[in-house]
Amino acid sequence: MRAIQYTEYGPPEVLKLKEIEEPKPGENELLIKIHATAVNSGDLKLRKAHPAVVRLFFGLFKPRRKILGAVFAGEVVSAGKNVSKFKNGDRVYGMTGMRMGGYAEFICIPENKCITLIPENLNYEEAASVPFGAVTAMHFLKKAKIQTGQNILIYGASGAVGTAAIQIAKNYGVEVTAVCSSGNFDLVNSLGAEYVIDYNKQNFTMRKDTYDVIYETVGKVPFSDCIKVIKPKGTVIIGSGGISDMLNGVFKKITRGINFVSGVSAEDPEDLKFVSELTVKGNYRPVIDKLYPLEETVMAHKYAESGHKRGNIVIKVT
């Protein structure tokens, strides 16, 4: 099979198209023919080994897992003898977890992982754009215990997680203020945001408005800034928080009662099923910026790092 591999950490050019052996499913695994995957922030961090702690889990001097790709959309072509939830021919999508492996024509995934059937109204490319942003946003918004009548500010609202968070928050009956560049105003408004702030022209922390929840999705605004406009007993979500943010969050929770949510999101198949149901109802739509063939994965990574991405970058595998 064809796959994109990397044998050293570094710039996008370390990604190489290779011919490798097709995997064989175990007793509880599905062999899936991947039609599409996506380039997400986790792929970029692992490729660069940034932050450095990545090396402790994925290889100190070189990557242990040579195929990146945290999501997939494809077709079940074979199943282990103990598989009961899926059958050959099923269109499925989901997340690969720590094993990665989505940048390839085939992958083996245990059936109990974050995987579910693709809604009939989505093609493979659209399906591949959903799991990362949707599952990540669902995890953190549930942690924040969002509820009808609240208001939320989403920083980085035009990215993969941000566009998902807007739509999920709206389905909970939450008023959304989106922070992004002016070129993305139409996009975030179309997804349901009532108010939009251009971060190039105005610092949201200097406004008089306050929020029940602030969701910082891109790691550019520290926790110390977010608490300036959070309501008493409100919740700040730092999706890419560092150690200083976490320590500050714990301190403010003790001293001011402000809730702090950060860490790594869980890959819950029930969250993906929930978003699938929203998609069928027309209450959630995939947001795709660019589509690349597998052999242009290097270009896809370069674009992902350009800072101009809207929604998701999808790679068409087959």
Q: Using an 8 Å Cβ cutoff, are 86 and 97 in contact?
A: no
Task: Give the per-residue pLDDT at 84.
Answer: 95
Are residues 294 and 255 located together in one domain of the fold? no
Tokens 């610092």: give the residue: 203
Q: CATH number of the domain that 36 lies in? A: 3.90.180.10
For the chain, first and last CA: distance in Å? 11
Are residues 119 and 153 located together in one domain of the fold? no
Are residues 120 and 154 located together in one domain of the fold? no
Q: Give the domain extent around 39.
A: 2-130+286-316
Residue 115: inside a domain, yes or no? yes
Residue 190 has phi, psi (to 5 degrees) of -65, -25
Task: Give the per-residue pLDDT at 307.
Answer: 82
Task: Give the per-residue pLDDT at 265.
Answer: 85
Are residues 34 and 64 located together in one domain of the fold? yes
Are residues 105 and 143 located together in one domain of the fold? no
Are residues 109 and 183 located together in one domain of the fold? no
Task: Give the per-residue pLDDT at 241.
Answer: 56
Residue 279: inside a domain, yes or no? no
Task: Give the per-residue pLDDT at 269.
Answer: 95
CA angle 268, 273, 274 (to 5 degrees): 95
Q: pLDDT digit of tens for each residue in the chain (318 aa)? A: 999 999 999 999 999 999 999 999 999 999 999 999 999 999 999 999 988 888 988 999 999 999 999 999 999 999 999 999 999 999 999 999 889 999 999 999 999 999 999 999 999 999 999 999 999 999 999 999 999 999 999 999 999 999 999 999 999 999 999 999 999 999 999 999 999 999 999 999 988 899 999 999 998 888 888 989 999 989 999 886 555 556 665 656 655 667 888 878 889 999 999 999 999 999 999 999 999 999 999 999 999 999 889 999 999 998
Q: What is the pTM of this model?
A: 0.93
Task: Give the per-residue pLDDT at 223.
Answer: 82
Task: Give the per-residue pLDDT at 70.
Answer: 96
Tokens 């996008």: give the residue: 12
Residue 274: inside a domain, yes or no? no
Are residues 119 and 160 located together in one domain of the fold? no
Task: Give the per-residue pLDDT at 57.
Answer: 86
Residue 278: inside a domain, yes or no? no
Distance CA 311, CA 288 (A): 6
Residue 276: inside a domain, yes or no? no
Q: Categorise residue 269: left if φ over 0, alpha if ψ from -120 to 50, beta otherwise.
A: alpha
At residue 5, what is the residue type?
A: Q
Are residues 34 and 107 located together in one domain of the fold? yes
Are residues 250 and 136 located together in one domain of the fold? yes
Residue 67: inside a domain, yes or no? yes
Are residues 139 and 59 located together in one domain of the fold? no
Task: Give the per-residue pLDDT at 253.
Answer: 61
Are residues 216 and 309 located together in one domain of the fold? no
Residue 290: inside a domain, yes or no? yes
Task: Give the per-residue pLDDT at 261.
Answer: 86
Task: Give the per-residue pLDDT at 263.
Answer: 78
Task: Give the per-residue pLDDT at 244.
Answer: 57
Number of domains in the chain: 2
Residue 281: inside a domain, yes or no? no
Task: Give the per-residue pLDDT at 251.
Answer: 59
Q: CATH number of the domain that 199 lies in? A: 3.40.50.720
Are residues 167 and 102 located together in one domain of the fold? no
